[in-house]
Structures are given as structure tokens and as C-alpha cells.
Amino acid sequence: MALIALLSAREGARERLADGRTGPLIGFGGQSLVEYQARAAISAGAERILILTEAATPDLGQLIDRLGAASGVQAALVQDMVTLSRGIGVRDRLLLIGENVVVPLDALSKLAGGEAPALLTVADVPATSGFERIDGDAKWAGALAVPGDTLLTTLDMLGDWDLSLTLLRRTVQNGADRIPLSPELVMDGHLTIVRDQESAQIALRARAEQDRREATAGAGPIGHLLAPLSRVIVQALVRREIEPTLLRGMALTVAALALAAASGGFAALALLVMLVAVAVDELARQSARITLRESGTDWRAWAVSGAGLAVLAILGWRLAGGTTLALTGAWLPVALVGLLAWRRTRDRDAGLWSGWTAMTVPLALLIALLGTLLSVPDLSFALLALLAAIMIALRFLLDDGAKI
């Protein structure tokens, strides 16, 4: 039994050109909207992706290749109902997302993880006038889950009807569970039907704002201070469709320059350049997370963090001056910071202590930079060791509900 996502990329999924012809697929932060829907379905647990289309165009073929390469999930284009019926088993579960509908990720995950049949609904208010009506009080919020046999029996009876709307009506008639969503999600742009590129940008900004709030909740002191600036930069990067992989490549290049500066004895320059590299990598991570193009932890992010620790280790070695005891004292905080940074990646949703009291690589670099600029680098390394020891002590002293 597999969870299969069924999407649509027919005429409505494409931009309308000035002469009335259909153009490329509607974009959504450097990818097409249907690709974003597919990534949302994968994040909700979908094991296969089927995309209904009139014709297997080159852009859709490239979309299928990207999905397979990025997530390993099997994806395919479907041009007729016979092919669709062959790809669905009786015991499979189908997650259908309406064409050009942006659904909140938490609602989609709840729908996919529950029992089928079920559907998302939203109250019938002026803001939801564009959504399909279910009854006098509710409208369809753009996603539903049904057993595979419901789809197969629907295909047997289907004439010239719309598959999505027919499945919706059958789901409602079968007494499906309803997952109600707040109309405020529509007014805020988190739940919307994208009709053109302008409305896609509105939905993308709403997605970026939601991600910013979630990221800031678990951010450290530096993250909270820089949140307003990073929000503006990330939204600009996403709007200009700059690939996160390009940003991470830039971060690696800058990190290499920081290592070279540290090896040459330019401590302040090395720390400053390394902070820039870490900042660029964080922007790449946020951009990838907003557009759902982040799958797990990219090795390049680990490489940038590792380069930051390496810069601290090189500076500690130069500061020790060849003395074994001093070198041990300089490298101890580096090892502790690395351990705490690794632990932080395991506890991203650990609450307040994870944000304000966690020792991270950027914070360690900043402390070392301040110590270097104040001509007390040895004291900065001692402070790093002390703070790291406090963090580890808190890890053992706090109760189980508060993690670092």
C-alpha cells in the first residue's frame, strides 16, 4: 500500500501570454508551481507522484527528472485515464491536490497521515469565493485523500467529467472526514488558488513569512538580531529565482578564502570572511526550505560549518605557539563547539534552550572575532570553552522537556 500524489498540469497550470496563447508553467520561486506541489506532497509522505497533463512537454519532462534526482521518489506524467488506472492499486491511498492550489504544509501532512477518505475544507466566506463549494457552509480547500479503489471505480464511470471534481463529489457523498481550515489562511495567502504569476508571488511571500516565523522561533541570538535583514534578502533571492545550490557554492568558495587567510596569519580577516560564508550558507538554506528544495542536510552546509571550525582550529594553533598545553586549551573549545553544533542539528525543535542558549559555529566565530579585534584572542578562546561547558552542563541539568 503506497501513498500516491495526483497532481494536474493542464492548461490552467501555464501562464497566459499577451496574444492569448499558453506559455511556460507558472513559476514559484525558481521552480514551477506544480513542482512545488510535488515537493509538498513528498514532504507529507507521498511515495509516488503522478501528474496529469495533456502532452509530455519538455519542461514537464525536466520536472520529472529533477524530482527523481532530488528525492528519489518515482514520478511520472499521465496523459490518459487508462495509464492512470494501471498505476494505481486497490489498496493504495491517493492524495489529490487541485491544480494551482497552494495548501499549507501542516494541513497537507495531517490529511496525508490520516484515514481516507478525507478532505480539507474552509468556511464559505467572501474571501473563499474562488474555491469549489461543497455545501451551504463549506468549500473545498484544494486537497483530498481517497482509497485507491475509489479512484478506480471513478475512472470506470468517468465520461467527459473533470476527474478532480468527480472525486471530490464522491468523497463528500461517501461521508468523508473533513479537516476544517481557517479562512484567515486564505486572507494571509497561505491557502490560495494561483491564477497568474502575480498571485504566485503573493503566495510565495506568505510562504516565506511563515518560514521566517518558524525559523526565528528556534534561532539563536544572532539569528534573532539579523532576522529582519535576512527576511528581506531571502525574499529577494527567492523572487529573483536564484538557486540555493548556487548560493551554497558561493559559500564554499568564501569559506576556502577564509581558510587561506587563517593559514596566512590574518586572524581578523579570516574570521570576518568566514562569518560571511556562514551567512551566505544560511541564506541558501532558508531559500531552499521556503521552496521545499531542501532534502535532508546538504553536505555543503556541513562543509561550511566544518570550515568554520577549521578556521578556529588554525587560529588556536597559531595562538598556542607550539606549546602543547596551550594548544590543548585552544582546541578544546573548538571540539566542544563542534559537538554542540552537531547536537543542535539533531534537536532543531527543542524549544527555547535550543535558540537562546545554544553554542553555534557563527556565535563562536563572532566571539573569536571580537576577541581578536580587542587584542585578547586568548580570552576569547577561554570564553568559548566556558560557554561550551555551561551548555553541556545545562544539557544534563535541565529536565527532559528542555533540550539544548
**Is 206 part of any domain?**
no
Q: Is residue 208 part of a domain?
A: no
- φ/ψ of 360, rounded to 5, equals -115, 165
Q: Which three cell numbers stand for residue 323?
A: 606549546
Q: Which of 68, 143, 136, 82 is nearest to 107 (CA)?
A: 143
Give the residue from 192, 208, 235 where a domain finishes.
192
In angstroms, the CA 201 to CA 196 distance is 9
Instruction: Please check whether residues 67 and 108 belong to one and the same domain.
Output: yes
Grid cell 495567502 — which residue?
Answer: 189
Residue 285 domain flag: yes
CA distance 33 to 132: 20
Shared domain check, 110 and 28: yes
Strands of 325-403 (E only): list them.
none
Q: Which three cell numbers stand for residue 117?
A: 477518505
The β-bridge partners of 97 are 143
The answer to whether 146 and 171 have CB atoms below 8 angstroms apart is yes
At 401 the pLDDT is 46
The confidence score (pLDDT) of residue 7 equals 92
Phi, psi of 402 (to 5 degrees): -120, 110
Does residue 334 sit in the same domain as residue 253? Answer: yes
Q: Is 207 a domain residue?
A: no
Q: Does 381 fall in a domain?
A: yes
In a domain, 198, yes or no: no
**Is the Cβ–Cβ distance between 363 and 338 less than 8 Å?**
no
Shared domain check, 236 and 333: yes
Q: Count of domains in the chain?
A: 2
In whole angstroms, how far apart are CA 279 and each of 139, 221, 227, 390? Answer: 43, 14, 12, 26
36 Cβ contact partners less than 8 Å away, ≥ 6 residues apart: 28, 29, 102, 291, 292
Q: What pLDDT score does 272 carry?
A: 94
CA angle in degrees (0–180, nearest 5) for 79-84-85? 145
DSSP string spanning 145-211?
EEEHHHHHHHHHH-SSS-HHHHHHHHHHHTT-EEEEE-THHHHHTSSEE--SHHHHHHHHHHHHHHH
As to burial, measured by CB atoms within 10 angstroms (0-12 exposed, 13-18 middle, 19+ buried), residue 129 is: exposed
Domain identity same for 150 and 275: no
Contact 242, 284 (CB under 8 A): no
Q: Are residues 342 and 266 in the same domain?
A: yes
Q: Which residues pair with 102 in a beta bridge?
A: 192
The neighbouring-strand residues paired with 96 are 6, 144
If asked whether residues 372 and 223 sit together in one domain, one would say yes
Predicted TM-score (pTM) of this structure: 0.75
Query: Is 294 in the same domain as 385?
Result: yes
N-terminal to C-terminal alpha carbon distance within the chain: 38
289 in the same domain as 237: yes
Q: Domain limits at 148?
A: 3-192
Structure confidence at residue 350 (pLDDT)? 45
Q: Do 169 and 264 share a structural domain?
A: no
Q: Would you say residue 205 lies in a domain? A: no
Q: What is the CATH number of the domain that holds 301?
A: 1.20.120.1760
- Shared domain check, 284 and 225: yes
C-alpha cell recorded at residue 280:
551566505
Position 10 scores a pLDDT of 80
Task: Give the model's pLDDT for residue 369.
Answer: 92
Query: Distance between alpha carbon 359 and the CA centroid of its chain, in Å?
Result: 23
> Per-residue pLDDT tens for 22-81?
778 888 877 888 989 999 999 888 989 999 888 888 888 888 888 877 667 888 888 888
Confirm if 403 and 351 have CB atoms less than 8 A apart: yes
**How confident is the prediction along the chain (404 residues), in pLDDT tens digits per residue?**
789 999 988 877 787 776 666 778 888 877 888 989 999 999 888 989 999 888 888 888 888 888 877 667 888 888 888 888 887 888 889 999 998 899 998 899 999 988 888 999 999 888 888 899 988 889 999 899 998 888 888 877 755 567 888 888 888 888 889 999 999 999 888 899 988 888 888 888 888 777 766 655 455 555 555 666 666 777 777 767 677 778 888 989 999 999 999 999 899 999 999 999 988 888 888 888 787 876 545 577 688 888 988 998 898 888 887 677 777 777 777 777 777 766 666 555 444 344 444 667 888 888 899 999 999 988 888 888 888 777 777 766 654 444 44
Strands 138-147 and 118-123: antiparallel
Residues 155 and 222 in one domain: no
Residue 16 belongs to domain with CATH number: 3.90.550.10
The answer to whether residue 263 sits within a structural domain is yes
b (16+ CB within 10 A) / e for 141-160: bbbbbbbbebbbebbeeeee
